[in-house]
Structure 1
């Protein structure tokens, strides 16, 4: 009896031991990352040599540098998943090496368009040009007679890298308005396209190519919803990207918009006003940008009655606000440079959109140039100006390390 019980226990234990181990969770996959928190620490300064008056080397610095070949912050996290950066310490002064060498700097390369903020949200730098850089954690001073030959600690802080895409044109519209289809038609980009809201969950940038080789970039961003200004839906994840664009292209479905059966239906005119209002509540300065209104899917309006009504209402703003409930009324009404009737599936209407975008961009660029001349503002060549600033920065950094 004892033998049978013992054998039963052994078989039971073996059955438990042969069970397959639970599968490990898959590592998180990152697609498009436009905001990232990292910890940075400058290297400590080396110790001085009091007996011979030797100075320790300065600690290395951590700095952020814009690189045009990087598209998003995904590259940063792939290179360093721990998101912690520490520069090297300065070399101690020694009997046969009186002046210690400085610690090696650490460079974090980020996309052009990154805003660097401290943990309290205060902006430290805006890296809008390729090669531009900023020191985010200074190295500690080496030990000298001034600090009793004791090397100092380097700066340590948490910073936030916030990417705002730089594009010529931003597509603005509620989900399923046809923005992704429009981008695919305007450029060579192939964003995900489907007949349901929130197909676009990450930004896409396409490039419009013209016969004379002129190129204009267009950003398709996650669709807005009502309440985006208080971060509902994609909220700020979308809105922050339009701040650096030059022109807004509103894409509006002539049949209106309804996110879900639980939500109220909005007419095309109400949709335009709600988009206007969301931009206004987020940042009123955005409404000063040049804008074009594109009424999409006009092929579904065979009689053109809806199209004519919408165009009339937009042209007669603000008087036509009386047609809708006061909840849709923005305080500042955006002024459209043009109203287009289009179908993203019709190449002729797409070419018309491309042509108007180029004309409006050129017009506003020339207008700004003349305005600067009238006020005696001399705008230097941005490339030469930037290269000069970069050269001075590099010289200062080298001088500090000597």
Structure 2
């Protein structure tokens, strides 16, 4: 269960992916007893999805994080029906889930212009209420942001995800030769000659146990949920988090990343996936790559050599395995082409499914044909 407490509001640098707000609908207007007049309803508070909006901009612009709609107009001799109070609209980023104070999701906003009624205004005073207005609904809600991107970069720390993003796009993530350089999600755009743009999210490095929230794993893994495709990035020479941690080969790294995704949310493994094998400029990388490809082609011949808790119920099937070097630039253009091809194939598949669905809806049923 997601909580709205301090843990949910933890931020990484200037990036915020959780915000707690107080919202209250407007109070209704007074009724007019002598003539049976009815006061106007209080205004509503709405969350409206807007592009180029961030949770940080909401926090900076409204430091008190309180949003109250207008009061309904009183009934009078001139206007027996009072006007409705002014609505309060709060612009929120795309990809926001709305959670109640207990952590239960009650709505989400994924496309520009989508609206969510956060707090309803109170009824105006009328005969039914003895002409006394009602107060508006008041709630404490959490906005939980999950990045929307075409491709999500997934890997352990120091695999070279940030370097890869900077090579493929104009993003400028922090890059260094030590783990945990990336402490906040970074977004970059891949630009193609036909002006097609593909949005790529570089997610902070996972560690073993991320599914159980080790290393703030849930805060990172949740951003994978709304990416259309996965791009796993592994170091061909293997990975070791610390001196006390076990060394993992490139194959074991792939298996562990798959296991972490599966334990967090099994549906993630149904996303189309590519594998970028980084640091191919290192000595012995070609031989290690041949061994890795063989292991990926026949994974069950090697899985029995691993600890049982490392083995996922199902293995990821990669559409392509691309050897790269973010140091020399080897394979970067090929990787960009593979990403574009995968995105286009998936879009075509979705379009074909939509066309088939529309045809089924248009076909008359057996009863209609009679």
Report the TM-score when normalising by structure 2: 0.91
2:335 matches 1:335? no
The aligned residue for residue 6 of structure 2 is none
Q: 8 Å contact 2:236–2:285 — kept in the other structure?
A: no
Aligned with residue 20 of structure 2, among 21, 29, 37: 37
Q: 8 Å contact 2:124–2:134 — kept in the other structure?
A: yes
Deviations 1:181-226 (A, max 9, x none): 0000010101000111111111111000111111111000111111
- Measured in 2, the distance between the counterparts of 1:65 and 1:371 equals 30
2:290 matches 1:308? yes
2:122 matches 1:140? yes
* Compared CA separation, residues 132 and 196, structure 1 to 2 (3 A): same
- Measured in 2, the distance between the counterparts of 1:298 and 1:348 equals 8
- Measured in 2, the distance between the counterparts of 1:303 and 1:207 equals 29
The aligned residue for residue 159 of structure 1 is 141
- Measured in 2, the distance between the counterparts of 1:250 and 1:29 equals 22
SS at match of 2:318: coil
Q: Where do 1:134-213 residues align within 5 Å? A: 134-213=116-195
Q: 8 Å contact 1:298–1:343 — kept in the other structure?
A: yes
Q: Where do 1:314-329 residues align within 5 Å? A: 314-329=296-311
Shift of 1:29: 10
Deviations 1:248-291 (A, max 9, x none): 00000011111111222211111111100000001100100000
- Measured in 2, the distance between the counterparts of 1:325 and 1:244 equals 31
Higher strand fraction (1 or 2):
2
Deviations 1:81-131 (A, max 9, x none): 111111121122234443222211111111111111212233222211111
Q: Where do 1:30-69 residues align within 5 Å? A: 31-69=14-52
Structure with higher Rg: it is: 1
- Measured in 2, the distance between the counterparts of 1:32 and 1:255 equals 32
- Measured in 2, the distance between the counterparts of 1:366 and 1:279 equals 26
* Compared CA separation, residues 87 and 302, structure 1 to 2 (3 A): same
Root-mean-square deviation over aligned CA pairs: 1.8
Q: 8 Å contact 1:222–1:234 — kept in the other structure?
A: no
Shift of 1:378: 7.7
Report the TM-score when normalising by structure 1: 0.84
SS at match of 2:128: helix
- Measured in 1, the distance between the counterparts of 2:286 and 2:75 equals 83
Is there any run of 5+ residues in structure 1 with no aligned partner, and where? 1-27, 380-402
Q: Give structure 1 regions of 4+ aligned residues with deviation exceeding 6 angstroms.
A: none
Q: 8 Å contact 1:223–1:234 — kept in the other structure?
A: no
Is there any run of 5+ residues in structure 2 with no aligned partner, and where? 1-10, 362-370
SS at match of 2:302: helix
